[in-house]
Amino acid sequence: MHRLILTIVLLLLNGLAVAFDHNHSIWDGLLKRHVVLIDKGVSSQVDYAGLQKQRRVLGRYLKELSSVTKQGYGRWSKAEQLAFLINAYNAFTVELILSRYPDIKSIKDLGSLFESPWKKRFFTLLGKKRHLDAVEHQMIRRKGVFDDPRIHFAVNCASIGCPMLRKKAYRAKSLDRQLEDATRRFLSDRSRNRFDAKRGKLSVSKIFKWYREDFESGFKGFGSLHAFFKKYAVQVSGGSREAKKRVAAGDYKIRYLDYDWRLNDLKRNR
């Protein structure tokens, strides 16, 4: 009898795991409709006004995310887990913005002297009440789990200074290609990363300062920021052959740009 009950429980759990939509279809549909690419596709703006009208649809997706059990998640592949966490972070961030939209100019407006917006426990994930920082720093960036600094170009903090929110959901079957594309797009954005050949300065996003350790260790053996920028010298340099050579050779000094925390809102910025 005990063995029969255990078998039934396992079948039910497996059924729940299989039932989850790893194509993230609801979220994918919302992104395609409400994210607008700008600056030749290296950045994007979000139609929060349009998303506000479809908040119930977003709510269905968030409910799907919250219904996943820790046990079910544990049986997924690494790619399925990472795609899940990236999409969850981005979707719950949008939900946080919508909780006060349109009376908001920056995600920082949702914080206070006592609690940052990234520390608000307003959703459930894998059976536990969580905040955005927990998803990013304790799950996605946790050492020995994914160890891929390209995730910094995939998670979006609803700000102009952030890497773009893509028009498509992240999916396990194409995750590596999507992360690589997100990295190249961000590094090609001259408003956030640019090389000044005359002064020998490479001005880059503060993301590289805040998470320098992630780029210097972990994924594919990058030992330094210079090694990382060498791999993406074409994007960072802007395409000039001479600039590309200098970036590849590490012939520059790094300067960190100010971060733009204004809301990446289509309505306000178009």
Q: Is residue 6 over pLDDT 90?
A: no
Mean pLDDT of the chain: 92
Burial class (CB in 10 A: 0-12, 13-18, 19+), 65: buried
Which pLDDT score, from 0 to 100, does residue 112 have?
87
Give the pLDDT of residue 217: 78
Is the model's pLDDT at 9 over the cut of 60?
no
Compute CA distances 85 → 12, 103, 104, 198, 259, whole Å. 23, 28, 25, 42, 24
Residue with tokens 């910025």: 269
Angle subtended at Cα 190 by Cα 147 and Cα 156, rounded to the nearest 5 degrees = 45
Q: Place 267 in a pLDDT band, splitting at 50, 70 and 90.
A: confident
- Residues in CB range of 8: below 8 A, 6 or more apart: none
Alpha-carbon distance 270 to 249, whole Å?
A: 39
CA distance 155 to 139: 13
Give tens-digit pLDDT for 110-160.
Answer: 998 889 999 999 999 999 999 999 999 999 999 999 999 999 999 999 999
What CA–CA distance (Å, rounded) separates 51 from 27?
11
pTM (2 d.p.): 0.91
The tens digit of pLDDT for each residue in 182-201 reads 999 999 999 999 999 889 99
CA distances from 118 to 195, 227, 241 (A): 32, 31, 41
Query: Is residue 235 very low, low, confident or very high in pLDDT (cuts 50, 70, 90)?
Result: very high
